[in-house]
């Protein structure tokens, strides 16, 4: 399968930073954490031209780490990300402006001491996408495009609400004229009515600019709304991937199914609700369970799941699942 | 019908700041029966948390309850001397906060802080207090509870910490628990566990619950009745199924239509234009009018009550629904 973005065997480990004292204490048997965190392990996927791939998972599953590697912000421990065949990073440095990121928290991602106009124009100026003389018009154009009054270019981030700041963050990313946008929980910190405004803006700009997107979120309904395909992550690996409609209607991995079942749905009748939570807790990424990482919480787990890790195997056209005992494929 | 457990009338909690008076809660009235679950819904700044804090007498300066009445089991709580409020709080009224990381004492073991909470209201031995703590921890689904009494908060996961906070609220078998966004900080799968447990605990013990949340789906799954707040005021209240199926108030309708679940994938959501007003300058008349598709000149005056059996909305132009 070819794609605009091709990620192959991406792995990211975070080793604890140990001082000499820590090392000696560990040798003497003190409780010093010396194990690495395996945030992302051997993840491969493609994002095709014009497509939005949704990346879903609970906190600590590695979805943000994966997004940062794809965006060329964080070097992988091993594996590569290519855009149109060219690597995103070389020697630990990002080599392209074709991919840009919108982060979750617009309070942290905008420099509080810069004016909005400068925040938007800094990147394009540095990369020669706009001449200094044209900066005011360029900034005004982008502010209008994300639904802000061009007159706000001289203001500072603290003068804006969360939703407005996220509009600025979107303008900053798109002003770099990227082909690909990584959105890391772009609406998670926003109120429901503002979230709808930002999602609409995203859909509108995606269409107008023909963007290819990696959309990361823990919110299953948001991901369903914006994605063509979805990938579900659990403890650093993709456990299921496929067309959004298919994965949501007939999930094949027991984790995907349990996750979808556990989300409270808007109840419009007066019938009693029975919750179907997933049993147990998320295991620590310091010590992922052997075999399939989901087996301690899985109703379908067998002896084999405890010993042998299932590979992500193509199960149908465009879909793949990493499970020894997947649910029936409705298409096959 | 017997007298309600809680009766709030025209509650007004204002914050006297240097920039002016922020009317966080401005004329809120509702009542709650024993064992009832009320969902209190609104966006940030709607006054839903301040309403919860007001009920427990936890509003700190510059905030102050400037008017109204809170009758709890026949007793007036507004203006109650602090010592009497303390005797009620934790025993008959309890609160669960959003962030269990911030509400548990990090330097005391779980058992020690729960025993303190027991002995704050009852003269029992440390041993008896610990036994009570272990019993409620087991009830909220903490395995091996007696052994975990010696553990410290950092040794628990987020979901487990929130269970400890809920268990602490349950220690004295309160008549009312106010829970302020208790599952917002938790992951989806853990959130479902807590919701399931809260629902069965409330049913078993007859404790009334006020569940404060921005999440309509959670409230719809848990609550009997819902109360929707906007800019410090109630805009709509009624049985949760009826309100969400056919809202009367345009704000409730707009909030529902904003949810991605209400539109076909990839389609534009029906968004509410604009942003919520600053609490320092709430528009006169209906506060939602500047964002409302049904607003006209009449909306400059305070909105009248639009009533249906068991339901209420404050609106000049309510949406027609079949009763």
> Which band of pLDDT confidence, cut at 50, 70 and 90, is reported for residue A270?
low
**SS3 labels along B119-133:** HCCCCCCHHHHHHHH
Interface test with B, best of A50, A56, A234, A262 (most B CBs within 10 A): A262
Residue A268 has pLDDT above 80, yes or no: no
Lowest model confidence (mean pLDDT) among B22-26, B121-125, B193-197, B299-303: B193-197
**Which residues in chain A are contacts of B215 at CB distance < 8 A?**
264
pLDDT tens digits, B245-260: 999 999 999 999 999 9
Helix (H) or strand (E) holding A249: helix A244-249
Q: Environment class of residue B51 by beta-carbon count within 10 Å: exposed (0-12), middle (13-18) or buried (19+)? A: buried
Dmax (CA) of chain A: 68
> Which band of pLDDT confidence, cut at 50, 70 and 90, is reported for residue A106?
confident
Interface test with A, best of B266, B270, B290 (most A CBs within 10 A): B266
In sequence order, which residues have a C-beta less than 8 Å from that of residue A17 and are 6 or more positions away?
none
Lowest model confidence (mean pLDDT) among A126-130, B98-102, B150-154: B98-102
Residue (of A120, A147, A155, A160) closest to A136 by Cα position: A120
Identify residues of A whose CB sits under 8 angstroms from chain B CBs.
Answer: 58-59, 161, 163-164, 191-197, 199-200, 203-204, 218, 220-222, 224-227, 244-245, 258-259, 262-270, 273, 275-278, 281-282
3-state helix, strand, coil split of chain B in percent (to 5) is 35, 25, 40
Residue (of B13, B132, B125, B145) closest to B66 by Cα position: B13
Percent of chain A with pLDDT strictly greater than 90: 65
Residue B59 has pLDDT above 60, yes or no: yes
Q: Quote the pLDDT of residue A20.
A: 86
Q: How many CB atoms lie within 10 A of CB A90?
A: 12
pLDDT, chain B, mean:
91
Q: Is residue B34 part of a domain?
A: yes
C-alpha of B124 from chain center: 31
Rounded to an integer, the average pLDDT of B288-293 is 94
Q: A177 CA to chain B: closest CA distance, Å?
A: 23
Rounded to an integer, the average pLDDT of A196-221 is 94
**Which residues in chain A are contacts of B160 at CB distance < 8 A?**
281
Percent of chain B with pLDDT strictly greater than 90: 67
Q: The tokens of A32 are what?
A: 């010093």
Q: Quote the pLDDT of residue A33.
A: 77
In degrees rounded to 5, what are phi and psi of residue A319?
-120, 155
Percent of chain B with pLDDT strictly greater than 70: 99
pLDDT, chain A, mean:
90
User: A157 in helix, strand or coil?
Assistant: helix
**Which residues in chain A are contacts of B201 at CB distance < 8 A?**
none
Pairing of strands A52-56, A229-234: parallel
Residue A76 has pLDDT above 60, yes or no: yes
- Residue A3: DSSP 8-state: -
Rounded to an integer, the average pLDDT of A284-306 is 91
Q: Are B1 and B36 in contact (CB under 8 A)?
A: no
Q: Is residue B256 part of a domain?
A: yes
Q: Is residue B167 part of a domain?
A: no
B159 versus B119: which is more confidently predicted?
B119
Q: Quote the pLDDT of residue B249.
A: 96
- Please name the member of B188, B244, B266 whose beta carbon is closest to the beta carbon of A58: B188
Q: The tokens of A61 are what?
A: 């599953």
**Which residues in chain A are contacts of B266 at CB distance < 8 A?**
203, 225-226
> Which band of pLDDT confidence, cut at 50, 70 and 90, is reported for residue B196?
confident
Q: Is residue B261 part of a domain?
A: yes
Q: Quote the pLDDT of residue A177.
A: 95
Q: Is residue B134 part of a domain?
A: no
Q: Quote the pLDDT of residue B251.
A: 96
What is the radius of gyration, based on Cα positions, of chain A? 22
- Please name the member of B157, B254, B271 whose beta carbon is closest to the beta carbon of A281: B157
Q: Quote the pLDDT of residue B205.
A: 84
Residue A273 has pLDDT above 70, yes or no: no
Q: A262 CA to chain B: closest CA distance, Å?
A: 6
Q: B92 CA to chain A: closest CA distance, Å?
A: 28
What is the edge-to-edge ordering of all strands in the sheet holding B208-213? B93-96, B176-180, B208-213, B37-41, B225-230, B233-239, B311-314, B305-308
Q: Are A39 and A12 in contact (CB under 8 A)?
A: yes
Q: Quote the pLDDT of residue B45.
A: 85
Residue B323 has pLDDT above 60, yes or no: no
DSSP A127-163: TTSS-GGGHHHHHHHHHHHTT--GGGGGS-GGGS-HH
What span, in angstroms and rounded, lies between the C-alpha atoms of A307 and A326?
17
**Which residues in chain A are contacts of B271 at CB distance < 8 A?**
193, 196-197, 200
Q: Quote the pLDDT of residue B286.
A: 94
Rounded to an integer, the average pLDDT of B268-278 is 89
Identify any residues that bridge with B235 across adjacent strands, giving them in sequence order.
Answer: none
Q: Tokens 């065997």 identify what position? A: A9
Helices A192-209 and B250-257 pack at an angle, to 10 degrees, of 50
Q: The tokens of B29 are what?
A: 């009235």
CATH number of the domain that residue B25 is part of: 3.40.50.300
pLDDT tens digits, A24-74: 888 888 777 778 888 999 999 999 999 999 999 888 889 999 999 999 999
Q: Is residue B190 part of a domain?
A: no
Cβ of B43 within 8 Å of Cβ of A192? The answer is: yes
Cβ of A225 within 8 Å of Cβ of B266? The answer is: yes
**Which residues in chain B are contacts of A258 at CB distance < 8 A?**
189
Q: How many CB atoms lie within 10 A of CB B74?
A: 9
Q: Quote the pLDDT of residue B276.
A: 87
> Which band of pLDDT confidence, cut at 50, 70 and 90, is reported for residue B322?
low
Supply the range of the domain harboring residue B252.
Answer: 6-82+175-184+207-314
In this prediction the ipTM stands at: 0.82
Q: Is residue B198 part of a domain?
A: no
Residue A156 has pLDDT above 90, yes or no: yes
Pairing of strands A99-102, A180-184: parallel
What is the number of structural domains in chain B? 1
Lowest model confidence (mean pLDDT) among A89-103, B195-209, B286-300: B195-209
- Residue A50: DSSP 8-state: T
> Which band of pLDDT confidence, cut at 50, 70 and 90, is reported for residue B186?
confident
User: B15 in helix, strand or coil?
Assistant: strand
Q: B322 CA to chain A: closest CA distance, Å?
A: 15
């Amino acid at each position: 399968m070819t794609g605009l973005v091709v990620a192959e065997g991406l792995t990211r480990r975070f080793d604890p930073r140990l001082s000499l004292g820590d090392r000696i204490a560990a040798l003497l048997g003190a409780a010093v954490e010396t194990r690495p965190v395996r945030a992302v392990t051997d993840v491969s996927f493609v994002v095709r031209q014009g497509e939005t791939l949704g990346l879903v998972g609970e906190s600590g599953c590695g979805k943000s780490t994966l997004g940062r590697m794809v965006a060329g912000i964080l070097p992988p421990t091993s594996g590569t990300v290519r855009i149109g065949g060219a690597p995103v990073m070389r020697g630990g440095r990002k080599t392209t402006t074709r991919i840009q990121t919108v982060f979750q928290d617009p309070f942290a991602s905008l420099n509080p001491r810069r004016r909005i106009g400068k925040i938007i124009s800094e990147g394009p100026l540095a990369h020669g996408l706009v001449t200094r003389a044209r900066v005011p018009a360029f900034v005004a154009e982008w502010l209008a495009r994300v639904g802000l009054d061009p007159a706000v270019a001289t203001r500072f981030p603290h003068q804006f609400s969360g939703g407005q700041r996220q509009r600025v963050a979107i303008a900053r990313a798109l002003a770099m004229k990227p082909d690909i946008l990584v959105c890391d929980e772009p609406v998670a910190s926003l109120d429901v009515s503002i979230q709808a405004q930002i999602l609409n803006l995203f859909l509108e700009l995606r269409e107008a600019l023909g963007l290819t997107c990696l959309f990361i979120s823990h919110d299953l309904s948001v991901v369903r709304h914006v994605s063509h395909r979805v990938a579900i992550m659990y403890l650093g690996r993709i456990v299921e991937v496929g067309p959004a409609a298919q994965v949501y209607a007939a999930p094949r991995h027991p984790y995907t199914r349990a996750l979808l079942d556990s989300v409270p749905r808007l109840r419009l009748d007066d019938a009693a609700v029975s919750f179907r939570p997933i049993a147990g807790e998320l295991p620590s990424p310091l010590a992922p369970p052997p075999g399939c990482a989901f087996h301690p919480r899985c109703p379908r787990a067998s002896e084999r799941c405890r010993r042998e890790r299932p590979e992500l195997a193509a199960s149908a056209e465009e879909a793949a699942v990493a499970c020894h005992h997947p649910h029936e494929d409705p298409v096959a | 019908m017997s007298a309600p457990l809680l009766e709030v009338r025209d509650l007004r909690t204002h914050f006297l700041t240097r920039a002016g008076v922020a009317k966080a809660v401005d004329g809120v009235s509702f009542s709650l029966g024993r064992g009832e679950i009320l969902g209190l819904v609104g966006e940030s700044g709607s006054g839903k948390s301040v309403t919860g804090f007001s009920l427990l007498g936890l509003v700190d300066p510059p905030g102050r309850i400037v008017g109204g009445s809170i009758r709890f089991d026949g007793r007036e709580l507004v203006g109650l001397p602090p010592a009497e409020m303390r005797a009620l709080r934790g025993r008959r009224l309890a609160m669960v906060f959003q962030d269990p990381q911030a509400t548990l004492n990090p330097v005391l073991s779980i058992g020690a802080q729960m025993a303190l909470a027991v002995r704050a209201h009852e003269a029992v031995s440390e041993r008896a207090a610990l036994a009570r703590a272990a019993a409620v921890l087991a009830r909220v689904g903490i395995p091996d509870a007696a052994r975990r009494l010696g553990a410290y908060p950092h040794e628990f996961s987020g979901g487990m910490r929130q269970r400890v906070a809920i268990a602490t609220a349950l220690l004295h078998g309160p008549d009312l628990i106010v829970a302020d966004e208790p599952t917002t900080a938790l992951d989806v799968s853990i959130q479902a566990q807590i919701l399931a447990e809260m629902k069965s605990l409330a049913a078993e013990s007859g404790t009334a619950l006020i569940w404060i949340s921005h999440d309509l789906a959670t409230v719809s799954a848990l609550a009997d009745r819902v109360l929707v707040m906007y800019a410090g005021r109630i805009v709509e209240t009624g049985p949760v199924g009826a309100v969400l199926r056919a809202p009367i108030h345009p704000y409730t309708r707009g909030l529902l239509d904003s949810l991605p679940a209400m539109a076909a994938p990839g389609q534009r959501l029906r968004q509410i234009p604009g942003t919520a007003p600053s609490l320092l300058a709430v528009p006169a008349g209906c506060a939602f009018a500047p964002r409302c598709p049904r607003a006209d000149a009449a909306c400059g005056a305070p909105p009248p009550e639009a009533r249906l059996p068991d339901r209420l909305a404050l609106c000049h132009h309510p949406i027609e629904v079949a009763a």
